[in-house]
Amino acid sequence: MKILIVGAGPAGLYLAYLIKRRFPDWALRIVEQNPRDSTFGFGVVFSERALEFLRADDPDTYDGVTPAMEAWTDITVVHRGVPVVIDGIGFSAIGRLKFLELLRGQLEATGVSIEFEKSLGEKHDLQGHDLVVAADGANSWLRSTADFGTTIQPLSNRFAWFGTTRVFHTLTQTFVQNEAGHFNAHHYRHSPQMSTFVFECDAATWARAGFERMDEFGTLSYCEKVFADTLQGHKLVSNKSVWRSFPNVRNRHWSRGNVVLIGDAQRTAHFSIGSGTRLAMEDAIALVNALSQHGKNIPEALGAFEAVRRPIVEKLVAAADASAGWYEHFPEHMTLAPREFAWSYIQRSGRIDPEKLRKIAPKFVAG
């Protein structure tokens, strides 16, 4: 069997490792367009439950990554300067670069070397492989090689992904208002020295604030002013922190011929539920299981992969869509008082009803 994996993000790296571990004799190539240590963004979070899949399926990887993670048990929602703590909803976080380094180290220890700075862009690059895996992210080139029934719907809010040296205690959602409009920051520590700081606003605020005419540094300075109380004198740090609209990627077909989509290439899940990386890794586990069960029969294996995985993915994506929908209207929710606002926030994905919340977050509900 000859397998080509395009993209060495979480999906591609983890899939390559699982394949090499399960089928040591298969020939495997993994290519990545960027240099070894380049990545975008700062940290990523995993919900407590999100890490359970890894503990259960792959204790080695779980034990490899969890010591490098920051963990906490509460969420804080700050509105009108009032912090409301929602207890009992735990998360772990890790720097994206650190996470990729760990996955890479684990893969390279199996003897696979990643072909860095190699960008595939021609159909003939794919020839000679029994299976081609598109793990090339939301802007996947491989998706353009066949009709996957792809739709890409950009959300109207804008965001920029920064870091900061201020180390926050919990995952915090801070909402503020100024003369231009309404702003939100998703912030949490992802290492003992650094936090992630995703700055977001609605399209009308973005236009009124004049971000279109600002460069990356201008945006960063503006954001530091808006969130001066939150940052308490700390600076923001940028890393390709340009304004983006989150793309909702969906595909009617997950495979065409011998090409299969996994991770963000297959679908994105809004970052506000912190599940994109976990979904990408679960795709890898499911694909390797399907290959194990169906041997070298690629069409059968890809059909089985989609049949098992699609219902699970669609459930999570529905929750991500509901959460994204709440953010698309956050200026309207900001008319609520802080505690009601936090209540609206925590119910946004439709997955936590009041009874369930009473069990998970007794102090918050009692308050």
Ligand X SMILES: Cc1cc2nc3c(=O)[nH]c(=O)nc-3n(C[C@H](O)[C@H](O)[C@H](O)COP(=O)(O)OP(=O)(O)OC[C@H]3O[C@@H](n4cnc5c(N)ncnc54)[C@H](O)[C@@H]3O)c2cc1C
Minimum CB distance to ligand X, residue 179 (Å)? 26
Restricted to residues 169-228, the positions that interact with ligand X (CB under 6 A) are 198
SS3 percent helix, strand, coil of the chain, rounded to 5, is 45, 25, 35
| Stretch near ligand X under the rule CB under 6 A, chosen from 80-88, 231-239, 260-268, 344-352 | 260-268
Q: Please state the closest distance from residue 266 (CB atom) to ligand X, in A.
A: 8
Chosen residue from 2, 37, 119, 356 binding ligand X by CB under 6 A: 119
- Residue from 4, 19, 30, 31 that binds ligand X (CB under 6 A)? 31
Cβ atoms of 275 and 324 closer than 8 Å: no
Q: Which is nearer to ligand X, 233 or 306 (CB)?
A: 306
Q: Residue 37: which of 87, 96, 92, 79 has the closest Cα?
A: 96
Q: Minimum distance between the CB of residue 8 and ligand X, rounded to whole angstroms?
A: 5
By beta-carbon proximity to ligand X, the closer residue of 62 and 338 is 62
DSSP 3-state of 350: coil
Q: Which is nearer to ligand X, 32 or 224 (CB)?
A: 32
Strands (E), 252-309: 255-256, 259-261
C-beta of 112 vs 336, nearer to ligand X? 112
CB 170 within 8 A of CB 209: no
Among 185, 263, 298, 324, binds ligand X (CB under 6 A): 263
In this complex, which beta carbon is closest to ligand X, that of residue 216 or of residue 300?
216
Using CB under 6 A, pick the residue from 3, 18, 84, 120 that binds ligand X: 120
**Is 11 an interacting residue with respect to ligand X (CB under 6 A)?**
yes
What's the count of helices (H) and strands (E) in the chain, helices before strands? 13, 17
The whole-angstrom separation of Cα 99 and Cα 10 is 8
Nearer of residues 51 and 226 to ligand X, judged by Cβ: 51
Number of neighbouring beta carbons within 10 Å of residue 44? 22
The answer to whether residue 107 forms part of the interface with ligand X (CB under 6 A) is: no
Strands (E), 117-180: 131-134, 150-154, 158-164, 171-178
